[in-house]
Chains A and B, each alone.
Chain A
Amino acid sequence: MRSYLWYLARRFGQFVLVVFVGINIVFFVTHATPIDPVEQAISSATQFGQSDPRAVEIMRKALRELYGLDGSIWQQYLTFWRRLATGDFGPSLSAFPTSVSTLIGQALPWTAGLLSTSTLVAWCVGNFMGGLAGYYRKNRLLKGLGIVATGLQPIPSYIMSLVVLILFGYLWPILPISGGVEMNIHPGFTFSFLGSVAAHSLLPVLSLALITIGAWFVGMRSLVSNIVAEDYVVYAELAGVDRHKILTSYVMRNALAPQLTGLALSLGGIFNGAIITEVVFGYPGLGTLLVRGVNSGDYSLVLGIASISIIAVATAVFAIDLLYPLLDPRVKVR
């Protein structure tokens, strides 16, 4: 038990480090940008017809005061951490005075849903099929799947989403290719709403899952084929233990532990993929919001999204770390 606590403490330390380093990078990079939110606002206001040069001077002065961008970078840095502790990223500069947290709050559930569904589906299907493929090495269907999986694995998210979009958006247009839910359906636990959400998520989930299924499949197959050669499996086979039981209880379980670590390590990458896929499908999540923030030069929004991404991914990794000892008892000893 004490070793488990020690393990927990170390993992928590790592969690804190990730968040600290990540957010520091993000903070200093954003504050090094030459983009000036006041000028950004003025340019959007003048596009609405306000172009009297005298008026622009008045507006510039007023906005500088309002946005409160004064103070040294260290003061801003301290304010940022203090606000962060309460989950506050200040007001968005392109949607002033709405707070960045509100905007993220609207987008986060969509990304979380997309990400967790596709990751879970891909991890389960990929590992299961990969396990079968490693155990029944001569099965033709599984070999064929192996070739497909190997081919899919190295394709980046953007290309995969584009291909899926072209296939199901242009060539065989059966699924919605844009947005998160149909227009004018009221949110709630109704069949039409949930059905629409599910339908709109099919293509993004498919694009994300196809790539990662490949990775888990290939990884699991090689793990299992190594374990199959281990003595204890050979003995079990000789002893006449049911093959299904060998596969599930002896082989798969041992192979799952490294795959879980793999999941923790690749979450950051999967997150990138989800963001990009959202952009392709116009999904109302963090990715779409991020690109909008970039295009409107709203760096407080971009800063907020980047920080939340880091915290979310680090937390998920930490959660997986907590699960890990349950699967692999050897961890307790170390």
Chain B
Amino acid sequence: MKAALFCLTATFLAGSISEQAFAQASFLAGIPRNEVLIAENPEGRITNPTWFNIWVVNHGSNSNGLQQLGMDTLWYIDPDAGIDGVWDNSLASDKPSYNSDFTEMTVKLRDGIYWSDGVEFTADDVVYTVETQMKNPTTTWGPGFLASVDSVTAPDKNTVVFKLKRANSRFHSLFTVRWNACWIMPKHVFEKQADPTKFEFNPPVTLGPYTLKSFDPNGAWYIWQRRDDWQRTTLGRFGEPGPKYVAYIDPGPPDKRVILQLNHELDIIHDTTPEGVFTLAKQSPSSHFWFKGFPYAHPDPTLPAVVFNHDIDAFKNRDVRWALTLLIDMKAVSMASYRGAATISAIAVPPTGLYPKYYFDPLEDWLKNFEIDTGKSKYKPYDPTVAQQIADLLRPTMGDKIPKDPKEIATAFGRGWWKPNPQVATELLERAGFKKTGGKWMKPDGTPFSITMLVEGDQRPVMTRAGTMIVQEWRQFGIDAKTQAYPSDFFPRVASGDFEAAMAWSVETWGGHPDLSFFLDSWHSEFVKPAGQRQPPRNWQRWSNPELDKIIEQVRAIGFDDPKGVDLGQQFIKLAVQEMPIIPLMSYNVFTCMDTTYWTGYPSAETDPYTDPVPNWANTKYMMVKLKPVEKK
């Protein structure tokens, strides 16, 4: 009896002591909170935390600050407006210069850039980077060089010349950061290693404006410190980086991230759920988002879509693909996936960055007049007001968080989409030989029309939610459709061709630059594999089309900045509307939430879209020079 009482008292006592201990503990032992920017690393806890050799396949962490703050390469293309224009010559002093038939590329390098250990960066480092990786095809970029590079030389300390095996007008893209690219290796460090692929590179010798200060042996956090000689890095051109320290941490699942930011213990959330963002917008006055109101998120230049497998008989027919498109009510998909906070797209490029200017505005009229002929009737499927309708749907509950100006709505929610029309869908399916018997659709061969849609499950919750909704709409029309969650090896499975439809993306763009080769080049029919063999990225749908090949070949023949590129891009988009090889849905909106308790100067869509705030993008290094500590009152 006494013992029992004693136990109870002891428990309570222990509880109250620990409560006091935590009230006093500072968040970051030894570092003043107002000197450190704390950002989420979406990779979570790192499996092999001591590994910093970013050049080998399956290396340790990528976005623990290593590629954002420690690495540098020749050029950056900003997915948004850019700090000084979209294109930035980083280690290079000028744009790449090709010879007339694109078989040679010459690069001029900047002077006065130094590694964090005081050694000067030179053309030899670039040559070493290329040659070492070519010798080791198990490195990330080695195979890319092997496929293109004949030889690489450094005529002087500031010049690198690439001789190419074949014409390649986009060779520089290997060194151009979209969110990542081939980083330059420190020759003086790696050449001492017998096998550069087995070298941990711990601590990393950096070319970026920060060096590694300390990290968790269990992989939950990394802290970087501003270099004293930050002027001797490429970022020095834009001024001193604001935060003295930057920490990249694993904040746990989405709900824990929201709690941490509510307590001001996490300055930048990489991504959370739409519901979590609404909570932050409501409860945290210091929160800041890319968009002030809806959709809050940063639209990444990536296009989630329904990717059909064109090896499946049913999906070889354009009529079937269009019928399935006309069964989707985009308003419902937007609500189900992003709770309305989606930026929708009817065409096969993401509605982000500068793409509205390049592609969406010029094509709007063509889309309005686009017509489908089912043989029985004619139908103009494009409804330019879908985004407007979504905004109207949200206004009663979200009030002034929803923009009213049609222009703002177009940037935030996108423009139009396809009007659902079961009648036209029926006519299209019937023309394709499908039949509805007993409320169920049958394929031409008399078997039930069933679709299993692969989704990534909790690896990509929002797209799983979209997939579930689309499948539900097909099911209600009498198609035996279901989703299958496949979190562990989604892309290998898609590559193997062992799927019918998938919620995935095969379209990714530069965002700020109109050139479409980033994804389009790999859509050429020369790369389409026969059924049963693995399809290389990114034409997961295995779509081939002679007209498409012609467009791609024309793109290859012109330079990166050639104005004809936009025209060819528009041709591709029109072809993709007619053929509907994938059903474009929306941009990949990332719910990056920033907290202004300790730092200001974050980018914003309305006032200063200088870069993408999504913290795992290497471009976020530009954010560091714009961030300023909040003065204490």
Direct contact of A and B (CB under 8 A): yes
- A-side residues, CB < 8 A to B, are 35-36, 39-63, 66, 92-98, 102-103, 106-107, 110, 125, 128-129, 132, 136, 139, 141-142, 145, 169-170, 173-180, 182-187, 192, 195-196, 199, 202, 282, 284, 288-289, 292, 294-298, 301
Decide if B57 touches A292 in the complex (CB within 8 Å): no
Decide if A103 touches B488 in the complex (CB within 8 Å): no
- B-side residues, CB < 8 A to A, are 1, 3-5, 7, 15, 18-19, 21-22, 25, 27-31, 44-45, 47-48, 50-51, 56-58, 60, 62, 136-138, 140-144, 146-148, 178-181, 197-198, 214, 216-221, 223, 247, 249-253, 256, 259, 459, 487-489, 491-492, 495-496, 519, 521-522, 527, 534, 536-538
Decide if A175 touches B18 in the complex (CB within 8 Å): yes
Decide if A39 touches B138 in the complex (CB within 8 Å): no
- A291 to B315 CA separation, bound complex (whole angstroms): 36
Residues of B within 8 A of A51 (CB): 519, 522, 536-538
Known: A50-B143, A183-B29. 6 other contacts (CB 8 A): A45-B58, A48-B62, A52-B143, A55-B146, A98-B51, A183-B220
Decide if B218 touches A180 in the complex (CB within 8 Å): yes
Decide if B143 touches A184 in the complex (CB within 8 Å): no
Decide if A58 touches B143 in the complex (CB within 8 Å): yes
Minimum CB–CB distance from B503 to chain A (whole Å) comes to: 16
Decide if B22 touches A175 in the complex (CB within 8 Å): yes
Residues of B within 8 A of A128 (CB): 3
Decide if B138 touches A103 in the complex (CB within 8 Å): no
- A180 to B216 CA separation, bound complex (whole angstroms): 11
Decide if B143 touches A36 in the complex (CB within 8 Å): no
Residues of A within 8 A of B249 (CB): 183
Residues of A within 8 A of B137 (CB): 58-59, 61-62
Decide if B536 touches A53 in the complex (CB within 8 Å): yes
Residues of A within 8 A of B216 (CB): 183
**Among B7, B27, B57, B144, contact of A41 (Cβ-Cβ < 8 Å):** B57
Minimum CB–CB distance from A273 to chain B (whole Å) comes to: 20
Interface pairs (6), CB distance under 8 Å: A42-B492, A56-B143, A97-B198, A179-B220, A184-B30, A284-B220
- A59 to B138 CA separation, bound complex (whole angstroms): 6
Decide if B147 touches A54 in the complex (CB within 8 Å): yes
Minimum CB–CB distance from B263 to chain A (whole Å) comes to: 8
Most B CB contacts (10 A, CB to CB) among A177, A182, A183, A288 go to A183
Residues of A within 8 A of B496 (CB): 39
Decide if B144 touches A95 in the complex (CB within 8 Å): no
Minimum CB–CB distance from A244 to chain B (whole Å) comes to: 10
The answer to whether A178 and B251 touch (CB under 8 A), given A56-B537, A59-B143, is: yes
**Among B56, B147, B487, contact of A58 (Cβ-Cβ < 8 Å):** B147
- A45 to B59 CA separation, bound complex (whole angstroms): 9
The answer to whether A141 and B138 touch (CB under 8 A), given A43-B492, A56-B536, A182-B25, is: no
**Among B44, B136, B223, B492, contact of A39 (Cβ-Cβ < 8 Å):** B492
Decide if A174 touches B30 in the complex (CB within 8 Å): no
Decide if B47 touches A92 in the complex (CB within 8 Å): yes
Across the interface, name the chain A residue whose C-beta is closest to B538: A51
- A57 to B534 CA separation, bound complex (whole angstroms): 10
Residues of A within 8 A of B534 (CB): 39, 60
- A183 to B44 CA separation, bound complex (whole angstroms): 14
Decide if A199 touches B491 in the complex (CB within 8 Å): no
Decide if B522 touches A40 in the complex (CB within 8 Å): no
**Among B5, B60, B140, B491, contact of A48 (Cβ-Cβ < 8 Å):** B140
Decide if A95 touches B48 in the complex (CB within 8 Å): yes
Decide if B29 touches A182 in the complex (CB within 8 Å): yes
Residues of A within 8 A of B28 (CB): 183-184
The answer to whether A40 and B57 touch (CB under 8 A), given A62-B137, A141-B4, A174-B22, is: no
Residues of B within 8 A of A170 (CB): 259
The answer to whether A57 and B536 touch (CB under 8 A), given A49-B178, A95-B48, A297-B488, is: yes
Across the interface, name the chain B residue whose C-beta is closest to A93: B58
- A92 to B57 CA separation, bound complex (whole angstroms): 12
- A324 to B521 CA separation, bound complex (whole angstroms): 70
Decide if A49 touches B218 in the complex (CB within 8 Å): no
Across the interface, name the chain A residue whose C-beta is closest to B256: A178
- A306 to B558 CA separation, bound complex (whole angstroms): 55
Decide if B30 touches A40 in the complex (CB within 8 Å): no
- A128 to B3 CA separation, bound complex (whole angstroms): 9
Minimum CB–CB distance from A223 to chain B (whole Å) comes to: 18
Most A CB contacts (10 A, CB to CB) among B3, B136, B256, B538 go to B256
- A271 to B532 CA separation, bound complex (whole angstroms): 42
Closest 7 CB pairs of A and B: A62-B137, A53-B536, A39-B492, A95-B48, A58-B143, A55-B143, A43-B491
- A66 to B220 CA separation, bound complex (whole angstroms): 29
Across the interface, name the chain A residue whose C-beta is closest to B527: A53
Decide if B223 touches A184 in the complex (CB within 8 Å): yes
**Among B136, B219, B489, B536, contact of A35 (Cβ-Cβ < 8 Å):** B489
Residues of A within 8 A of B251 (CB): 178
Minimum CB–CB distance from B91 to chain A (whole Å) comes to: 17
Decide if A292 touches B459 in the complex (CB within 8 Å): no
Residues of B within 8 A of A136 (CB): 1
**Among B22, B179, B218, B223, contact of A199 (Cβ-Cβ < 8 Å):** B22
Minimum CB–CB distance from A242 to chain B (whole Å) comes to: 15
Decide if A132 touches B45 in the complex (CB within 8 Å): no
- A277 to B3 CA separation, bound complex (whole angstroms): 29
Most A CB contacts (10 A, CB to CB) among B22, B252, B487 go to B22
Decide if B198 touches A176 in the complex (CB within 8 Å): no
Most B CB contacts (10 A, CB to CB) among A44, A129, A192 go to A44
Residues of B within 8 A of A107 (CB): 218
Residues of A within 8 A of B50 (CB): 98
Minimum CB–CB distance from A121 to chain B (whole Å) comes to: 11
Decide if B21 touches A199 in the complex (CB within 8 Å): yes
Decide if A40 touches B138 in the complex (CB within 8 Å): no
Across the interface, name the chain A residue whose C-beta is closest to B524: A53
Residues of A within 8 A of B56 (CB): 96
**Among A55, A62, A183, A282, contact of B247 (Cβ-Cβ < 8 Å):** A183
The answer to whether A55 and B147 touch (CB under 8 A), given A95-B47, A169-B259, A288-B45, is: yes
- A54 to B529 CA separation, bound complex (whole angstroms): 12
Decide if B180 touches A48 in the complex (CB within 8 Å): yes
Residues of B within 8 A of A132 (CB): 1, 3-4
Residues of B within 8 A of A52 (CB): 143-144, 147-148, 521-522
- A177 to B259 CA separation, bound complex (whole angstroms): 11
- A294 to B252 CA separation, bound complex (whole angstroms): 17
Residues of B within 8 A of A173 (CB): 259
Across the interface, name the chain B residue whose C-beta is closest to A141: B4
- A35 to B498 CA separation, bound complex (whole angstroms): 13
Decide if A63 touches B138 in the complex (CB within 8 Å): yes
Minimum CB–CB distance from A185 to chain B (whole Å) comes to: 5
Across the interface, name the chain A residue whose C-beta is closest to B534: A39
Minimum CB–CB distance from A30 to chain B (whole Å) comes to: 13
Minimum CB–CB distance from A139 to chain B (whole Å) comes to: 6
Decide if B44 touches A92 in the complex (CB within 8 Å): no
- A53 to B523 CA separation, bound complex (whole angstroms): 10
Residues of B within 8 A of A44 (CB): 57-58
Residues of A within 8 A of B136 (CB): 62
Across the interface, name the chain B residue whose C-beta is closest to A48: B180
Minimum CB–CB distance from B173 to chain A (whole Å) comes to: 9
Residues of A within 8 A of B5 (CB): 141
Across the interface, name the chain B residue whose C-beta is closest to A180: B218
- A182 to B147 CA separation, bound complex (whole angstroms): 46
The answer to whether A129 and B221 touch (CB under 8 A), given A50-B144, A169-B259, A295-B459, is: no
**Among B29, B48, B181, contact of A103 (Cβ-Cβ < 8 Å):** B48
Minimum CB–CB distance from B185 to chain A (whole Å) comes to: 16
Minimum CB–CB distance from A113 to chain B (whole Å) comes to: 13
